[in-house]
Structure 1
């Protein structure tokens, strides 16, 4: 297939008259939206892996948090190269590259489990994340371009709702396919013979092989569908749509983009931190087994999915930046309750944060790339790079939990993060109120 560039930017006003999604783009919208579901599966399988690797590889909570470090470091290092590649080969070909990397990383889980080396697993996760960096760098701005500018945040929240669906499915699926339900105490492990202990650890490590091979197969099938599908040509921001103030204007001169990068860093850090340790949190708070705790995480992510659809509907009546402020304040309050209480109250409070996190990523993204013109691709890459927050927060939370003897203490980091998101939403509200068109 020829690697012809496929221009993506804001639609013309004529296309914008077609509604939330312009009619010529419906098939492409559906296919690209399916990507949101698929990368949610990879993201939220990590929450299962953290607990599984603590058991199968005898890791501390801080060490297991490196699962997210490797994963989100992949986003950080590949986002800018992905944006550059897509300026050369187009968004559709960028998506195909991303899916190929995704499938390769998932397939690497098989040999990693055979040798039982944590570093090998981290390499596989890095490759998966490199693929997802391509997918997110392409899909997010592509979705915003498939209709009128005024409904870009609403349209992206709709597509991201299917990311919520994937997030809801992943803990149930991962818990059922990966967790054995067999959990030995340290005393029981010490009492085992070397052969019995090795057999137990080997079986737990190999539990990830078939689920990840299946994931690779599904990803390759989706790549085949996209390869043969015809994608529309959407006018380039810098050509048929708006220009920025000049070719020499620095990308960092856009104040709202700078704010969005900071907000996305703290949002992803908070989200990944909460979900990564939710299973540990629930087990510590109410003493349930790993499979039950995974199901509770699934119910929390069901709230995330519902929140995405509800947020899309609410944005017909409430501006995206105002809804972001409201949701951020509620999420911060719930974190405070989770930290200050114990038992079911703390678990329910932490679980409910997922509903209010639901709109944050797509809303921050859409507000951040607004009015960037021909610098939209670069701005998109920078916001995706901010996902590095997901690499840094889990080990920090895990280390705090190891030191304090309680996972509750580490959640203070997430409370502060939500307050920073509130500040971003308020800044975007002032920008809209002042009628600022650029930066």
Structure 2
């Protein structure tokens, strides 16, 4: 499936970035951003309607990111056997199926059925992220791979804001908070009201389905380069198709890759945790607002996320990405510590500020970790495992939910993402030191050569 108008290098990277294909691929990023942000709306809705604990509400994220975890390697095998484009098309189809499942879920009115629909969406998004993240980094010169991925990731918060707006106006309703309204009703009235509220959950997914169908059609008719390494494939047939065990052995033996996986796991976990409980935090700290008003704070969070990515993209063209992210990590840790101890709504605004710090983390960790895989025949599987690290979004929010239930304080439970950010900062600090050491070694060699 080669596009002969594009010059592909032996390692799979392109000599020049195809603008239309890159933009179309980047459109996928807000599509999964919208799905992820709708989860934050659903958590607040389901907690009241189904009378759930904080741990139980976090199962929304467990279903979502658990789907990513399970499908990442199968998605990488699809890419290996076919192409990135086929994986994208497969992901869009599963995404459409998952959205369609909200129709029976809203009528069956069981929490488990909603979790199944969310899991199906996650399968589609697992295909999309496994293919699109790596593909974006490959669509152009190798030296700009991380920058390209950061540019594509900049579109994600746009989708996140759209998802929150859809949830705010189509799922949440006017009036008092759901808890207050339900408290005034008889059991029969509360049951009927809950069923009515669940009907609203399918509304955003109707619009998303139409958008997905349009994007799917455009992808079907657009030609894409393969962006697969050719040099190894020419040397021997065996080397061109490494098995799963061989690939895993290589990746497990790569210490920097392992550390990158842990950093990605904890980063995704803390991001999802903060966003999952921001609306809940606002409702707890201000008893006078309802879910629709509280959702504004998530809009501000995603705007801050977007601004943070733009600022980081600017800074990383002038300074080391590792140094930028290390400083970001210090600021983020301090903000999360403030959320724990603040006694008023300033804690919510601190959560919004943390979103600005989140901006460049995912793409930078992904791009830098993928870059340490020097044997490019393992790239597809490495990308899949990095996407599997998204399972942190299934684990860390659940841990935060448990801590919240045990301490009786959603605010104090923000200690969990704070600890995660400390490790992310430690990871970037080590990478920064390693980069500086290499730079110093090169400078010393140049000086020695000059002396001789």
Match status 1:291 vs 2:284: no
- Which residue of the other structure, out of 66, 70, 74, is the alignment partner of 2:67? 74
Report which stretch shifted further, 394-403 or 90-99. Answer: 394-403
Q: How far apart, in 1, do the equivalents of 2:111 and 2:418 lie?
A: 31
- Which residue of the other structure, out of 147, 157, 168, is the alignment partner of 1:164? 157
In angstroms, what is the RMSD of aligned CA positions? 2.7
Q: Deviations over 1:15-71 (max 9, x none)?
A: 9897xxx24x21110111000010000011000000011122222222111000110
Match status 1:104 vs 2:103: no
Give unpaired runs (5+ residues) of structure 2.
440-452
Match status 1:132 vs 2:133: no
Q: How far apart, in 2, do the equivalents of 1:301 and 1:317 lie?
A: 25
Match status 1:374 vs 2:371: no
- Which residue of the other structure, out of 211, 220, 223, is the alignment partner of 1:218? 211
Match status 1:174 vs 2:167: yes
Q: Given the superposition, is the C-alpha separation of residues 314 and 13 from structure 1 closer, same or farther in structure 2, using an over 3 Å criterion?
A: farther
Q: How much does 1:147 deviate?
A: 2.1
Match of residue 227 from structure 2: 234
Give unpaired runs (5+ residues) of structure 1.
none
Match of residue 9 from structure 2: 12
Q: Given the superposition, is the C-alpha separation of residues 190 and 286 from structure 1 closer, same or farther in structure 2, using an over 3 Å criterion?
A: closer
Match of residue 395 from structure 1: 398
Q: How far apart, in 1, do the equivalents of 2:235 and 2:343 lie?
A: 53
Indicate conservation of the 8 Å contact 1:137/1:380, yes or no: yes
Indicate conservation of the 8 Å contact 2:14/2:138, yes or no: no
| Structure 1 segment 82-93 matched on structure 2, within 5 A | 82-93=75-86
Secondary structure class of the residue paired with 1:250: helix
Indicate conservation of the 8 Å contact 2:256/2:372, yes or no: no
Indicate conservation of the 8 Å contact 2:83/2:226, yes or no: no
Q: Given the superposition, is the C-alpha separation of residues 209 and 423 from structure 1 closer, same or farther in structure 2, using an over 3 Å criterion?
A: same
| Structure 1 segment 229-378 matched on structure 2, within 5 A | 229-236=222-229, 239=232, 250-287=250-287, 288-372=289-373, 373-378=376-381
Q: Given the superposition, is the C-alpha separation of residues 236 and 196 from structure 1 closer, same or farther in structure 2, using an over 3 Å criterion?
A: same
Indicate conservation of the 8 Å contact 2:68/2:388, yes or no: yes
Indicate conservation of the 8 Å contact 1:76/1:388, yes or no: yes
Q: How far apart, in 2, do the equivalents of 1:283 and 1:242 lie?
A: 61
Q: How far apart, in 2, do the equivalents of 1:64 and 1:39 lie?
A: 20
Indicate conservation of the 8 Å contact 2:14/2:139, yes or no: no
Q: How much does 1:419 deviate?
A: 1.1
Q: How far apart, in 1, do the equivalents of 2:174 and 2:420 lie?
A: 34
Q: TM-score, length-normalised on structure 1?
A: 0.91
Match of residue 415 from structure 1: 418
Structure with higher Rg: it is 2
Report which stretch shifted further, 104-113 or 188-197. Answer: 188-197
Indicate conservation of the 8 Å contact 1:5/1:90, yes or no: no
Q: Given the superposition, is the C-alpha separation of residues 6 and 42 from structure 1 closer, same or farther in structure 2, using an over 3 Å criterion?
A: farther
Stretches of 4+ aligned residues off by more than 6 angstroms? 13-18, 240-244
Q: How far apart, in 1, do the equivalents of 2:317 and 2:233 lie?
A: 28
Q: How far apart, in 2, do the equivalents of 1:14 and 1:95 lie?
A: 21
Q: Deviations over 1:171-196 (max 9, x none)?
A: 22211111013446768635534442
Q: Deviations over 1:104-158 (max 9, x none)?
A: 0011011001010111111111110111111011011111112222222111111
Q: Deviations over 1:88-111 (max 9, x none)?
A: 121101000000001100110110
Q: How far apart, in 2, do the equivalents of 1:92 and 1:186 lie?
A: 46
Indicate conservation of the 8 Å contact 1:15/1:148, yes or no: no
Q: TM-score, length-normalised on structure 2?
A: 0.88
